[in-house]
């Protein structure tokens, strides 16, 4: 019987496990403000890694970073009808610009300082960026125009969960304008592929890229594509989206250009984003009953060195420290994933055993402990976080030679990254079912983690689609996306019996 670091276990209480992991791994905590969280150093460090790696890819694609205001005039939202419908219900509105005392020791918004036009806290920036694009774009020579911003956004969610759905979250939103549909679609697909590769690479999180059905589209979009990841409870998590917005936002904001023939045309625009929700995905894909297993590429520290200082013999402790420092210098030299290895020498005053378990819970990929005996033998004790236990349930500690280990550490990190990815990939594929003849029966079974169903369908619209959505809802199911690289349809629609045109993934979702 293994004594795990977390009290809640995935198999018994997935939601409780998720929350305990976030607390124990020091990723985030409650803030006292509904739906808003404090992201702590280890959690924010993961986000910074995500930002750094993705920002480089965004720039490489010729997209420039900008910053647009947090406050958006209310009237901007009234211009695009579908967009209004999509976001009106969840917007934070600023109506005053001054506080005054009410005479009883409390502060209230000053009735005399009411804003002429309320400002909304951005839930997304299509409208304000569209207004800027309208100023910036004159001719076809200005196109394509591609900008991105890293920002926070606010959506007044009814039910929140840390990282997965918070009222305020951090994200990246790319916005582009093009002369024609082909250019915009190409950009939308480029962003989708960037997200797919990013999830599979740095996050070691396998995903399925595909198009969202009509009812799941972004408000105002012509087409919405997503990457969907499978959590360890079999639920889907939409981990990134990319939208082709047609010309409706350009029409609403007046983004026009003069074409080669001298005529005025509306631009075709796109938007695409990923958020701190990715961290929730990483937790639910890679976490285990001892905490997070952080993929090395996004781990703020990849290797932790814990010196076993016994505070009895100063010379002995100094020797251990010197040895540990030398090891740190040695480990930081090689490149893993094309970057210097990130090594932390944990010299804090905490007990060594506490340090070890704290790094286990945080999911540091490699944890090294060094004691006097290691110094004498030129060795070290290594715990590989993704494979912590031996078959007998004991910690799988290895004792390699120091110099040999230093030479192999970078490769070991890459190996851990690959192992996490392949473990998750095997789980994803073995839980997508293509032979389901009766959805109700399949999902009504008392199977805890039924996974997803991939069904052929005719892609109906309107009332026919609504009926399917209702039918699925009764089983707590949603359509996730129509995978881009699914096999071609060769049968009839599971729902309507009409000739199928594509395949669609169905599952429970966050």
Partner RNA sequence: CGGGGAGUGGCGCAGUCUGGUAGCGCAUCUGGUUUGGGACCAGAGGGCCGCGGGUUCGAAUCCUGUCUCCCCGACCA
Footprint on this chain of RNA (rule: CB under 7 A): 3-5, 15, 19, 23, 30, 32-36, 86, 89-90, 124, 155, 157-162, 165, 169, 171, 216-219, 224, 238, 240-241, 243, 273-275, 277, 290, 308, 310, 312, 349-354, 356-357, 369-375, 380-381, 395, 397, 399, 473, 476, 478, 509
Closest approach, Cβ 357 to RNA, in A, equals 4
Closest approach, Cβ 249 to RNA, in A, equals 13
Closest approach, Cβ 165 to RNA, in A, equals 6
Residue 415 exposed, middle or buried by CB count within 10 Å (0-12, 13-18, 19+): middle
Query: Cα separation of 501 and 492, whole Å?
Result: 8
Closest approach, Cβ 244 to RNA, in A, equals 12
Query: Cα separation of 178 and 448, whole Å?
Result: 46
Residue 263 exposed, middle or buried by CB count within 10 Å (0-12, 13-18, 19+): exposed
Closest approach, Cβ 470 to RNA, in A, equals 10
Q: Which is nearer to RNA, 259 or 317 (CB)?
A: 317
Query: Cα separation of 241 and 217, whole Å?
Result: 10
Query: In sequence order, what DSSP letters do the residues of 276-305 get, joined into one string?
Result: THHHHHHHHHH-BTTB----GGG-S-SEEE
Q: Which is nearer to RNA, 256 or 356 (CB)?
A: 356
Q: Which is nearer to RNA, 22 or 137 (CB)?
A: 22
Q: Residue 58 belongs to what H/E stretch?
A: helix 41-60
Q: Which is nearer to RNA, 217 or 362 (CB)?
A: 217
Query: Cα separation of 115 and 34, whole Å?
Result: 25
CA–CA distances in Å: residue 91 to residues 82, 154, 203, 273, 489:
15, 7, 31, 19, 41
Q: Which is nearer to RNA, 249 or 257 (CB)?
A: 249
3-state secondary structure of 357: helix
Q: Which is nearer to RNA, 112 or 349 (CB)?
A: 349
The answer to whether the beta carbons of residues 229 and 237 sit under 8 Å apart is yes
Q: Residue 192 belongs to what H/E stretch?
A: helix 181-200
Q: Which is nearer to RNA, 147 or 388 (CB)?
A: 388
Closest approach, Cβ 306 to RNA, in A, equals 8
Q: Residue 186 belongs to what H/E stretch?
A: helix 181-200
Query: Cα separation of 330 and 404, whole Å?
Result: 11
CA–CA distances in Å: residue 305 to residues 41, 343, 385:
19, 7, 13
Closest approach, Cβ 283 to RNA, in A, equals 13
3-state secondary structure of 317: helix
Q: Which is nearer to RNA, 90 or 181 (CB)?
A: 90
CA–CA distances in Å: residue 25 to residues 22, 221, 288, 315, 342:
5, 38, 12, 34, 19
| Closest C-alpha among 57, 50, 58 to residue 299 | 50
Closest approach, Cβ 30 to RNA, in A, equals 5
Q: Which is nearer to RNA, 304 or 500 (CB)?
A: 304
Closest approach, Cβ 489 to RNA, in A, equals 26
Closest approach, Cβ 390 to RNA, in A, equals 12
Residue 423: Cβ within 10 Å count: 17
Closest approach, Cβ 291 to RNA, in A, equals 10
Q: Which is nearer to RNA, 157 or 414 (CB)?
A: 157
Q: Which is nearer to RNA, 237 or 500 (CB)?
A: 237
Angle at 279 between CA 193 and CA 17, to 5 degrees: 135
The answer to whether the beta carbons of residues 311 and 288 sit under 8 Å apart is no
CA–CA distances in Å: residue 333 to residues 17, 40, 328, 435:
37, 28, 9, 51
Q: Which is nearer to RNA, 1 or 335 (CB)?
A: 1
The β-bridge partners of 492 are 499
Closest approach, Cβ 320 to RNA, in A, equals 8
């Amino acid at each position: 019987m293994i004594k795990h670091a977390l009290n809640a276990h995935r198999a018994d209480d997935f939601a409780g496990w998720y929350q305990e992991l976030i607390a124990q791994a020091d990723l985030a905590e409650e803030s006292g403000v509904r739906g808003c969280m404090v992201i702590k150093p280890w959690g924010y460090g993961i986000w910074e890694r995500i930002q750094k790696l993705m920002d480089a890819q965004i720039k490489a694609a010729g997209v420039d970073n900008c910053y647009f205001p947090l406050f958006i005039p209310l009237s901007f939202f009234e211009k695009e009808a579908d967009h209004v419908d999509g976001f009106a219900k969840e917007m934070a509105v600023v109506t005053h610009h001054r506080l005054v005392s009410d005479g009883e020791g409390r502060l209230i918004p000053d009735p005399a300082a009411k804003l002429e036009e309320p400002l909304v806290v951005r839930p997304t920036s299509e409208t304000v960026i569209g207004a800027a694009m309208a100023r910036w774009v004159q001719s076809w020579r200005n196109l394509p125009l591609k900008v991105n911003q890293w920002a926070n956004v606010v959506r007044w969610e009814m039910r929140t969960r840390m990282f997965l759905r918070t009222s305020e979250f951090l994200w990246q939103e790319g916005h582009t304008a093009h002369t024609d549909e082909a250019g915009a679609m190409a950009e939308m697909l480029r962003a989708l592929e960037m997200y797919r590769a990013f999830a599979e690479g740095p996050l070691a999180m396998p995903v399925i890229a595909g198009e969202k059905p009509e009812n799941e589209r972004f408000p105002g979009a012509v087409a919405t594509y997503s990457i969907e990841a499978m959590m360890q409870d079999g639920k889907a998590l939409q981990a990134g989206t990319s939208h082709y917005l047609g010309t409706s936002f350009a029409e609403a904001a007046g983004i026009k250009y003069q074409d080669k023939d001298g005529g005025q045309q509306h631009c075709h625009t796109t938007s695409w984003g990923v958020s701190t929700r990715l961290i929730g995905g990483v937790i639910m894909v890679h976490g285990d009953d001892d905490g997070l297993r952080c993929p090395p590429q996004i781990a703020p520290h990849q290797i932790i060195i814990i010196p076993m200082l016994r505070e009895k013999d100063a010379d002995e402790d100094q020797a251990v420290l010197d040895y540990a420092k030398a090891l740190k210098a040695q480990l930081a030299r090689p490149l893993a994933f094309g970057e210097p290895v990130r090594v932390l020498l944990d010299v804090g005053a905490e007990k060594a055993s506490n340090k070890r378990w704290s790094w286990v819970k945080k999911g540091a990929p490699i944890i090294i402990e060094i004691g006097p005996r290691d110094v004498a033998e030129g060795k070290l004790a290594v715990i590989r976080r993704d494979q912590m236990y031996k078959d007998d349930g004991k910690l799988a500690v290895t004792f390699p030679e120091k110099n040999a280990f230093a030479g192999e550490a970078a490769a070991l990190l890459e190996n851990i990254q690959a192992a996490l990815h392949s473990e998750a990939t095997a789980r994803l594929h073995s839980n997508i079912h293509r032979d389901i003849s009766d959805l109700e029966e399949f999902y009504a079974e008392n199977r805890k983690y039924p996974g997803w169903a991939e069904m052929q369908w005719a892609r109906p619209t309107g009332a026919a689609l609504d009926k399917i959505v209702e039918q699925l809802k009764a089983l707590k199911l949603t359509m996730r996306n129509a995978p881009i690289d699914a096999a071609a349809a060769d049968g009839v629609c599971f729902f309507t019996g009409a000739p199928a045109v594509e395949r669609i993934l169905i599952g429970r979702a966050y």
